[in-house]
Amino acid sequence: MKIAGLVLAAGAGRRMGTPKALIRDADGVTWVVRTARLLTEAGCSPVVVVVGASADQVRAALSDEPVEVVEASDWDEGMAASLRTGLRSINTLSEAVVVVTVDVPGLTAAAVRRVADRAAEHALVRATYQGVPGHPVVIGRAHWDGVIASARGDEGARGYLREHRVELVECSDLADGVDVDTVGDLPPGHG
């Protein structure tokens, strides 16, 4: 099964004070590059990164990475705008897409693989961390139009997923699914 990867990295990071895509981990790697690499490592192809705020800087950070970069001109509407742009840009050969946000620094390729491996059996799959839903989310092609039509604001696909049967996959043994929103939430060595 051909599964694409989609990194939502268009936000301005208002609560963080800087775009989260440009935050650097303890090794000096930007979050956008780290996230794109883990999708590639997990076997996703192609990997598409949606940019918006600070688009030129984020695009420059990705210049040596084997990814496709698309820009969400309406990125300031929220995560839904990035999700819609990304889904519209995925090539027609992909049967599903693994969606991740750039602000989950504890995500691992192993967690992405575990969730993606369920895509052959289930059209909608979502990681959970000790029972709490998080990323990644796998969306089968048959659901893309529905997600695009329903995605609003900062909810992304959350409303759509609530209305459809989603296979939940526990991943807390492989990753930390914490979504980082403020400087106080940053792991040690990141910034």
pLDDT tens per residue across span 6-53: 999 988 667 666 778 888 888 899 999 999 999 999 999 999 999 998
CA gap 51, 168 in Å, rounded: 28
The C-alpha angle 19, 22, 28, rounded to 5 degrees, equals 150
pLDDT of residue 188: 62
Q: In whole angstroms, what is the distance from residue 164 CA to residue 106 CA? A: 27
Structural domains present in the chain: 3-175 (3.90.550.10)
Q: Which residue has the tokens 């491996």?
A: 117
Q: In whole angstroms, what is the distance from residue 28 CA to residue 95 CA? A: 34
- What pTM value is reported for the model? 0.91
> Number of H helices and number of E strands within the chain?
6, 7
Over residues 96-110, the mean pLDDT reads 94
For 130-169, what is each residue's pLDDT tens digit? 999 999 999 999 999 999 999 887 777 888 898 999 999 9
